[in-house]
A and B are shown apart, each in its own frame.
Chain A
Amino acid sequence: MAIENKGFWQKLMTIDRRIIFIFIFVAISVPMFLKIELKIPVSPEVESLYQTISKLPDGAKVLVSLDYDPGSEPELQPMAETFFTYCLQRKFKVIVIGLWPQGAIQAEHARIVAEEKVGRKFEYGVDYINLGYQAGNEMVIQGMGSSIPQTFSVDYFGTPTTSFPIMQGVTNFSNIDYVFNLSAGYPGTVEWVLFAVDRFNVILGAGNTAVQAPQVYPYLGKQLKGILGGMKGGAEFEILTGLKGRAVKYMVGQTFAHTIIVLFILIANIAYFATRGKEKGKTV
């Protein structure tokens, strides 16, 4: 009996990874077809970001930097969609840039979703402009501190930036009311804090992947007015803005996946202590 028990615990400690993969696959995919309403509490850092943007006057000039690629789309694209929808509702003037080459395309995707949600379009060049990607990483931010039209002389589609009404009166960060950065790594939020906030006193909020979020927490407060951390941050933002979308929906899958992983960790530890006790007994 004792030998059988030991075998059982040993088996629990060495579950084949393919079995874990199947459990995670089911945990993530099945909830996509379920309609489950979850009560998602709002964290202080998301509340802070929402409070900051809600205090902006209608028609404020907002710069959005999309610094990610489709790999981080599940976490960051819902944030972009919700933010653009909110901007459209509040009639903010949105200036989009990308420190990652794919950022400009991701912005266009988010804009289309936002326009469908609101049922109204941004007037290009008046309410919205996509300045596209610019090589140079943090030096692009530094350049924008001196001159935005000089750093981005043409928009994403090749038209001179200064020919658009939205860019009239925009010289540098001093003419921008708020900067929102969506970041999946370098260059991203850390560079925006170091080069835009510390140097040019920009008001910055950020949305980050769950992996990157812990790295930007030290800036929260004076330098960073709120963080949307991972899928949960995005879902909380959707709840606060009243624009429930993909992040709230995906949180069900994330909940199941986290639960499965925690259960496997618990099983492994129970099995570990069970076998360790027996091993100790043997040696004594």
Chain B
Amino acid sequence: MKREVPLIICATVGIVLIFQYFIPAEPFGTLNQVFSDWFQVIGAFAIWLGALNLIKVSGNNVYKKRKDWPYSLLIIISFFVMVIVGFFFSGGRRFQDQGTAFSALYDYVYSPLTSMMFALLAFYVGSASYRAFRARTKEATVLLLAAFFVMLGRVPLGDTLTSWLPNWLHMSNIANWIMNIPNTAGQRAIMIGIALGTVSTSLRLILGIERSYLGGE
């Protein structure tokens, strides 16, 4: 039963959700709403599960003093600080309100730290571009030229440099052309491939052929 029940649930939900897409009539509308609600409830539980798992994994790292355990300790402290401050130190206001301690932690600690992680990419992208974009082969040359035109075409300098050329040769127009034609063609090819893969995997799941998500063998 441990395996059969999940398989039946998966098959039923999968089939109903496919049918409701093509048949906009009852009972599929109601079933769609019910399954959507279930999905959201499971999603909310997954957040809890994720939080508990984070505490468990980090707690184990600290307890067993594994490599870099102080970082794990910092995670646990940060987690509880945010939760406790949000629940108990809002000064009678809602924790979401501007000016609360929770809001201050979000604005002055969480937000700058997250932005910093993303901002670091600018430096690594710069360094990686310098090393990677070299015209070693024909393919690499195409990539290099695309990067060159898009990078300059996405900033006003590109158009300034090419302003003496006909309009269609302005850097921004070339960048737009690259984004709209070759990029779109490539993206569509990838999307069609992914869609076919998704359909195939979904059918395998619904029909009970693919059972790896149940765990075990």
A interface secondary structure, majority: helix
Residue pair B44, A157 in contact (C-beta under 8 Å): no
A129 to chain B, nearest CB (A): 13
Interface residues of B, count at CB 8 A: 58
Return the chain A residue nearest B141 by Cβ.
A269
Within 8 A of A (CB), among B129-170: 129-131, 133-136, 144, 147-148, 151-152, 154-157, 159-160, 170
Complex interface: chain B residues within 8 A of A151 (CB): 36, 40
Size of the A side of the interface (Cβ < 8 Å), in residues, is: 66
Contacts known (A139-B36, A142-B32, A268-B133); A25 close to B123, Cβ less than 8 A: yes
- Bound Cα distance A146, B111 (Å): 34
Q: Which of B92-142 contact A (CB under 8 A)?
A: 94, 96, 98, 103, 106, 110-112, 114-115, 117-119, 122-123, 125-127, 129-131, 133-136
Note all chain A residues with C-beta closer than 8 A to B77.
Answer: none
Per DSSP, chain B at the interface is helix
**Contact status B114-A143, CB under 8 Å:** no
List the one stretch of A52-60, A83-91, A252-260 in contact with chain B: A252-260
| Bound-state Cα–Cα, A186 to B126, Å | 25
CB-defined contacts of B112 to chain A, threshold 8 Å: 70
Chain A proximity mask over B58-72: 1 for CB below 8 Å, otherwise 0: 000000000000000
Q: Which residues of A contact B44 (CB under 8 A)?
A: 135-136
Please tell me if A10 contacts chain B, counting CB pairs below 8 Å: no
A108/B180 contact (C-beta < 8 A), A28-B122, A43-B172, A257-B126 known: no
Chain A residues with CB under 8 Å of B94's CB are: 157-158
Nearest CB in chain A: distance from B78 CB, A: 15
| Alpha-carbon distance A136/B36, docked complex (angstroms) | 8
* A24 touching B183 in the complex, CB below 8 Å, given contacts A146-B33, A262-B148: no
Query: Shortest 9 CB-CB distances between A and B: which pairs?
Result: A135-B43, A136-B40, A71-B118, A70-B111, A143-B36, A255-B155, A139-B39, A136-B43, A17-B127
* B contacts, CB < 8 Å to A: 21, 29, 32-33, 36-37, 39-40, 43-44, 46-47, 94, 96, 98, 103, 106, 110-112, 114-115, 117-119, 122-123, 125-127, 129-131, 133-136, 144, 147-148, 151-152, 154-157, 159-160, 170, 172, 176, 179-180, 183-184, 187-188, 191
